[in-house]
Amino acid sequence: MNVGAISLTEIDKKTAERYLGYGTSSADPVTSGLLRKCEAELLSEIQARYVYKIFDLKDGQPAGCSLYLPGNSIREHLKGASKALFLCATLSSAVDRLIRKKQIGSMAEAMVTDALASAAVDQVLDEAEARIFAEYPFREHTWRFSPGYGDLPLGIQGSFLDILDAPKRIGVCVSPSLLLTPTKSVTAVIGLGEHIEKKHKKTCEICTLRGNCRFRPCGTETGG
């Protein structure tokens, strides 16, 4: 069980714009101004932390771990991997608080901050991955597969967090309806190995929002 902290100096505003529905258009000057203002405030509140654990895979399942990863999607995802990295990261509850507060003064700022925070979680995960991969030099790794993708049930969130001791290590818990709290938190499984089949790219196939996505027409590959 390893824990780390990450400090961001900038948030990917292009991604935030995409979350705000801009698609490929760029934001108007007023919204750009909002993005810059909210970015600065958000950066001062984020206290990003992550926790991870690496398991050997035996028949596609983590060895020495009481959690069974059910379903075809995760089996496909981990095909060819020799180890599985369990990762959880959060921006901390201060971000939830900031978004709550923003909603009183300006809903537009709240929405922009929310989008920026979603972009920031991805950056934190990228950075956490980069650090972990530097420590464990496997030749290849899969992308991040989260409970709720494909047929990997959200119901495993609680056990997943317990295995990482996430409530104690980084303050991430799950609600009875399986939402992660603080809200800007992510859990993911990543396969590590020497020969992972390249065909496992992130596609819309496994997305629960397929056919109803605001961000891109279905069938295209995500930026993931």
Smallest separation, CB 198 to other proteins (Å): 29
Instruction: Indicate which single residue of 135, 139, 219, 224 sits in contact with other proteins (rule: CB under 8 A).
Output: 135
8 near other proteins, rule: CB under 8 A? no
Tell me how far CA of residue 180 lies from CA of 11, 84, 94, 136, 166, in angstroms.
22, 21, 15, 28, 11
Which of 69, 170, 189, 190: binder of other proteins (CB under 8 A)? 170
Local structure of residue 179 (DSSP, 8 states): -
Choose the binding region for other proteins from 76-84, 121-129, 165-173, 189-197 (rule: CB under 8 A): 165-173
Under the binding rule (CB under 8 A), the answer on residue 28 touching other proteins is: yes
Site for other proteins in 141-160 (CB under 8 A): 148, 154, 159
Sign of the C-alpha dihedral computed for residues 70, 125, 35 and 44 taken in this order: positive
Please give the structure tokens belonging to residue 57: 């895979």
Report, in Å, the least distance between residue 32 CB and other proteins: 8
User: Vertex 166, ends 89 and 193: CA angle to 5°?
Assistant: 60
Cβ–Cβ under 8 Å, residues 116 and 13: yes
Q: Name which of 25, 143, 138 is nearest 82 in CA terms.
A: 138
- Using CB under 8 A, list all residues that contact other proteins: 1-3, 20-22, 25, 27-34, 49, 64-67, 92-94, 96-97, 99-101, 103-108, 110-112, 114, 135, 148, 154, 159, 162-163, 167-168, 170-171, 173-179, 181-183, 208-209, 211-212, 214
